[in-house]
Amino acid sequence: MRKILAIAKINLAQYLVYRLSFVLWRVRVILSLFLTFFLWSAVYQSRLSIFNYSHRQIMTYILLIYVIGDLVYSSRVSDLSIQIRNGAIINQLLKPFPFLHNLFTREVTDKLLNLFFSIFEVGLVILLFKPALFIQTDILTILLMLLAIGMGIVISFFISFAISLVAFWSAEVWGPRFVFMTLITVLSGSYFPLDILPTLFYRLLLLTPFPYFTYLPTKIFLDGFSFQYLGMVGISLVWVVLSYFFARALWRKGIREFSFFGR
C-alpha cells in the first residue's frame, strides 16, 4: 500500500509540474460541456419533449454523461506508447514494483483527479444556470449504474492500452488513437442519446463496445433498473473479457519481440 501511495504522490506531483497543460485540458473539456449544454437548451426553447426526452431528462443526461465520461476516458495509458518508442519502458520493467500495477495506480490517480474537477465544473453549471434535473433515488438502479460505469472504465482502459501497444511495431500511434477518440465522441452518446438514432443503426451500435462506455450508465440512471439494462451490462462484460484477452495478447507479443538500443 505504501508503494501505491508513493506512486500516486509522484503522479500528482507531475500534474503540478505540468499544471498549465492540465488547466488547458480542463478548459477545453468545460468549453465542450458549455457548447453541448447551450445547444440542447436552445433546441428545447419552444418544445417540451423531443425524441421522448423531456428538457429535464436531457439536461440530466448531458451533465451526468460529462462526469461519467471524465471518469471513463481520462487515462495515462497514452504515455505508454511514448515510453515504448523512446525505450523508457525498459527502466519501468526493471523496477521492483510491477509495471502493470504502476500503470494501474497512475490510472486511478488520473481518474480521481479528473473526477474531482468534472464534479466541480458541473456544479458550477448547475449553480449558474439552475437547470431542472432528474434525481434518481432507487438504490438498485444506482448500483447497476455504478456496475456499468466500472465496465466502461475497464473496456476503455484495455482498448486504449492495446492502441498504445501499437508502438511496439509502429511509430504512428497518434493516428489509431485519434480514430478511437473520434469514434468515442460520436458513438458513445457524449453529445446526444444514442436511442434517438434510427432503430437499425442503434441496434448495430449496441454490438460495438462504444455504447457501454458512458451511454449505458447514463440511461440506467434516467430510466431505472430493468432486465433489459441488466442484459446490456452482461454484454459489456463480454467486451471486458474480449478487450482484456486482446490487450494481453498484444502485450505478450510486443514484449517478446521488443528490442531497443541506446539506453
Asked whether the predicted pLDDT for residue 98 surpasses 80, the reply is no
The more confident residue out of 249 and 90 is 249
Percent of the chain topping pLDDT 70? 90
Binning pLDDT at 50, 70 and 90, where does residue 6 land? low
Q: How many residues does the chain have?
A: 263
Asked whether the predicted pLDDT for residue 4 surpasses 60, the reply is no
Asked whether the predicted pLDDT for residue 231 surpasses 80, the reply is yes
Give the residues across from 49 on adjacent strands.
54
Asked whether the predicted pLDDT for residue 13 surpasses 80, the reply is no
Q: Mean of the pLDDT values across residues 64-90? A: 84
Q: What is the pLDDT of residue 100?
A: 74
Binning pLDDT at 50, 70 and 90, where does residue 262 land? low
Q: Mean of the pLDDT values across residues 78-94? A: 78
Query: CB-based contacts of 63: which residues, under 8 Å, 6+ apart?
Result: 33, 37, 122, 125, 126, 131, 133
Give the end-to-end CA distance of the chain in Å, rounded to a whole number: 31
Residue pair 7/106 in contact (Cβ under 8 Å)? The answer is yes
Asked whether the predicted pLDDT for residue 76 surpasses 80, the reply is no
Of 148, 150, 156, whose CA–CA distance to 220 is shortest?
A: 148
The more confident residue out of 259 and 200 is 200
Q: What is the pLDDT of residue 242?
A: 97
Using alpha carbons only, what angle is made at residue 222 by residues 220 and 228, rounded to the nearest 5 degrees?
35
The more confident residue out of 108 and 120 is 120
Give the residues across from 45 on adjacent strands.
none
Q: For the segment 213-223, what is each residue's pLDDT rounded down to a tens digit?
A: 999 999 999 99
Asked whether the predicted pLDDT for residue 201 surpasses 70, the reply is yes
Mean pLDDT of the chain: 86
The more confident residue out of 261 and 227 is 227
Q: For the segment 33-45, what is each residue's pLDDT rounded down to a tens digit?
A: 999 999 999 999 8
The more confident residue out of 181 and 212 is 212
Of 51, 46, 190, 62, whose CA–CA distance to 133 is shortest?
A: 62
DSSP states of 6-30 as a string? HHHHHHHHHHHHTHHHHHHHHHHHH
Of 160, 167, 165, whose CA–CA distance to 85 is shortest?
A: 167
Asked whether the predicted pLDDT for residue 151 surpasses 70, the reply is yes
